[in-house]
């Protein structure tokens, strides 16, 4: 027999915690914008270039897990801020490489950790069974969202 009051309280708690996660990401984004004048995707791009060196936009897109069309806009904005530069180092003029400027390198060196790294730092300190519980629970939640999204289409 289901205790509906308990179920309702648990659902409220799950929704509240999901909102807290979203809010943490939004606050982090605002902090980056205000203090460093870059967005989270822009910082991810800078860090990928800092860690891996110059690379074509398609490789940048893979590193920061966005579509190639999305990375073009990110690179455009970073180039306007003079944090990255496009160059053609191949004889094939269609091949473009993205590299950091000195300003971009300095920002990457001095930027705060991405929010994902904060999670990684806490996650790695958890006991193995708790890490597995988190993965299991998040998989269940995301599958609920996936199936609902598919029904809405």
Per-residue pLDDT reduced to its tens digit, 6-57: 999 999 999 999 999 889 888 888 888 888 899 889 999 999 999 999 999 9
Total residues found in the chain within this entry = 153
What is residue 112's predicted lDDT score, i.e. its pLDDT? 73
For the chain, the domain total comes to 3
Residues 140 and 99 in one domain: no
- Would you place residue 80 in the very low, low, confident or very high pLDDT band (cuts 50, 70, 90)? very high
Helix or strand or coil: residue 53? coil
Q: What is the token pair recorded at 147?
A: 């199936």
Residues 43 and 104 in one domain: yes
Residue 81 has, within 13 A of its CA and on its CB side, a CA count of: 21
pTM beyond 0.75: the answer is no
Residues 31 and 93 in one domain: no
Per-residue pLDDT reduced to its tens digit, 120-129: 888 999 999 9
CATH number at residue 84: 1.10.10.10
Residues 52 and 96 in one domain: yes
Residues 103 and 60 in one domain: yes
Per-residue b/e over 115-131, b at no fewer than 16 CB within 10 Å?
A: beeeeeeeeeeeeeeee
Residues 62 and 105 in one domain: yes
């Amino acid at each position: 027999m289901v205790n509906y009051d308990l179920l309702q309280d648990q659902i409220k708690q799950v929704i509240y915690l999901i909102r807290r996660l979203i809010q943490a990401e939004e606050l982090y984004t605002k902090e980056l914008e205000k203090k460093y004048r870059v967005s989270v995707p822009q910082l991810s791009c800078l860090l990928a270039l800092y860690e891996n060196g110059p690379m074509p936009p398609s490789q940048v897109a893979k590193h920061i897990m966005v579509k190639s069309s999305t990375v073009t806009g990110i690179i455009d904005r970073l180039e306007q801020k003079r944090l990255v530069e496009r160059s053609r180092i191949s004889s094939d003029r269609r091949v473009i490489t993205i590299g950091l400027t000195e300003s971009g390198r300095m920002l990457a060196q001095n930027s705060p950790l991405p929010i994902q790294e904060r999670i990684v730092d806490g996650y790695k300190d958890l006991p193995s069974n708790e890490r597995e519980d988190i993965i299991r629970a998040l998989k269940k939640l995301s599958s609920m969202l996936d199936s609902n999204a598919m029904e809405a289409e």
